[in-house]
Amino acid sequence: MTIMKLENPISIGELAKMVDGKVIGDENSLVKGINEIHRVEIGDLTFVDHPKYYDKALNSAASYVIINKMVDAPAGKSLIFSDDPFRDYVWLCKNYMPFEASVTDIHPSAKIDEGTIVQPNVSIGPYVTIGKNCLIHSGAIIYDHTVIGDNVVIHANSVLGADAFYFKRRPEFYEKMHSCGRVVIHSDVEIGASCTIDRGVSSDTVIGQGCKLDNQVHVGHDTVIGKNCLFAAQVGIAGCVNIEDEVILWGQVGVQKDLTISKGTVVLGQSGVTKSIKAGTYFGTPAKDAREKMKELAYLGRLPEMLDKIR
C-alpha cells in the first residue's frame, strides 16, 4: 500500500518541471503515487541513481522512474532524466507530505475508538487511528498516520513511526531520505516496552494480527510481518524484510535487509539471518539448519583432542 498516493494525479511532465528534469516518454501520462523501489505499484513514481539497480527499477511495477542515465523508456513507462534522482525524489516527497507539528499530546485529528485506554504522558500525532479496547502505556510515542487495530497493547516508551534509517552517502555528509510512509499494527498485537518500529519510506511497515513483541525489539522501515509471529527481546530487523506467518525469532536475532523468512520458521537466539530462509529451525551466523550447526560446534570443540592425536 502506498501512503504517497496523490490526491490529484499529476502529469509526469508537470512533475519534471518541478525538479527541472527532462521527460523521456509520454509527458501527459498521470502519476498517481510516489514510492521507493521495494514497494512500488503501477502508477507510482520511483527513482534510481546507481547502475547496479537500473534494471530493477526499469523492470519494476513503477510506471515512472527518475533516472540519471539517458535510456529509452520501457513500454508503458515514462522516465524523468535528472542529474541527481535522490535529491529530486526527496524534494517531491517533502513537497507532497511535509512535516506537520503537534501542539498537544493528542493531536485533534487523531481518532481513538471506544474502550481504548491512553495512559498519561502518551504522545499521539496527526491522523493516527486507534481501534477498540487498546491499552497504550505511559511514555509511548505514536507518530503521524499510524494505524492501530483493536485489542492492541503498547507498553511504556515504545515508539511507532520514527523515520526510516535511510541515507545517501555524499562526499562530505549523509543526506537523509524523507520518510512519509506509515506504521500499521493489526488487531490483537502486543508490543513490549521500549520497542521501535520505523515507518515505511513511502509505504507501510506492517505488524500482522496476533503478533507478540518482547521488550527492545526493533523493526525497520517497510518490513511486513505476517500473523501470529513471536519475537523475543532485542531482536533487530532491517528494512524491507518480509516475514511470513507464525515465525519465531528468539532473543538478539539479527535480520539483514530485503529478504524473506518463510512461514513457521524458528531462529534460535543470537543468530544472524543474512539471506532468505525456508521453513525450519536455524542457528548461528550466517543462520544454518540448527542441527547441522550444532554438529559443527561439537566438532570444533573436539579440535584440541584431534590435534593432540596427530602430534
Answer for the pair 131, 147: CB distance below 8 angstroms, yes or no: no
**Catalytic residue at 221?**
yes
| Residues of the chain by 3-state class (helix, strand, coil), percent to 5 | 15, 30, 50
Which grid coordinates are listed for 104?
498537544
Answer for the pair 207, 228: CB distance below 8 angstroms, yes or no: no
Cross-sheet strand order for the sheet of 111-112: 111-112, 129-130, 147-148, 182-185, 204-207, 224-225, 242-243, 260-261
- Long-range contacts from 299-302, C-beta under 8 angstroms, 24+ separation: none
Name the catalytic one among 137, 145, 186, 221: 221
Q: What is the rounded radius of gyration, in angstroms, for the C-alpha atoms of the chain?
A: 22
Answer for the pair 17, 27: CB distance below 8 angstroms, yes or no: no
Q: Angle at which helices 303-310 and 290-301 pack, to 10 degrees? A: 40
CA-to-CA distance for 268 and 254, rounded, in angstroms? 11
Answer for the pair 167, 161: CB distance below 8 angstroms, yes or no: no
List the Cα angle 227/232/238 in 5-degree steps. 75
CA-to-CA distance for 29 and 44, rounded, in angstroms? 11
For residue 170, which amino acid is it? R
- Catalytic positions are 221
